[in-house]
Amino acid sequence: FEAFGMEPGTIEDLTDLRPLAIVGDSITTDHISPAGAIKEDSPAGRFLHENGVEKKDFNSFGSRRGNDRIMTRGTFANVRFKNKMADGREGGYTKIMPEGTPADIFDACQTYRERGEGLIVIAGEDYGMGSSRDWAAKGTALLGVKAVVAASFERIHRSNLIGMGVLPLQFPAGVNDQTLGLNGDERYSITGLSNDLQPGQTLSMRIERSDGSSQTIDLMVRIDTAIEVDYYRHGGILKYVLRSILEDA
């Protein structure tokens, strides 16, 4: 609710997004927002240490779901998370681009936030499968991810992303990070977004590579209903509902 106002804002193009993660098929909500133990050397573990919590009292992400400081630091922090931008290292790691500096995902997001750069996640089939864990979408949004492009989405997670103001987009059949040759050094722009956005509309994604070349492909927006367009325009369902309550007060 930072900078919350009564006006919902406008739907606009997303430009110059940096990739936070490029992942394969069957990424579950537990990969995105784990419920397991908090590692001492992770961003969440360091945060707990800095706030006087001893290792024996760390407990788990599942027990700390009421604390957004912990849960945001734990997003994409599953020890089995495989980001193709992490040079084979499993866990919540990525590279800060364009420097290529290895970093924890949370720390990288703080760098991008300071630079004013939005983020994108590139994924394969069945992105967000598994339990309908709301923090998988909440944490994604709080890290600064503006869009997720996947070969396909699990139904509930797709809806939850919209509910948090994150745009879900779907590759055409047979297109994925491998066929496009993506490695994380690209910038991405999504064009065709406006307040006239229609469910299932085709949008364009421009991929600008570090060697100066570029490519544009079509994507299907996975906002499937008119009310979801409204949720997205409001920045998510929570802001939509709060504005509705305040208007009726």
> For 54-64, how does the pLDDT look when each residue is reduced to its tens digit (9 = 90+)?
999 999 999 99
The pLDDT of residue 247 is: 87
- Report the C-alpha gap between 25 and 245 in whole angstroms: 40
Collapsed DSSP state (helix, strand, coil) of residue 241: helix
β-pair type (101-104, 93-96): antiparallel
- Report the C-alpha gap between 248 and 110 in whole angstroms: 37
The whole-model pTM stands at 0.95
Contact 164, 189 (CB under 8 A): no
Tens digits of residue pLDDT in 93-106: 999 999 999 999 99
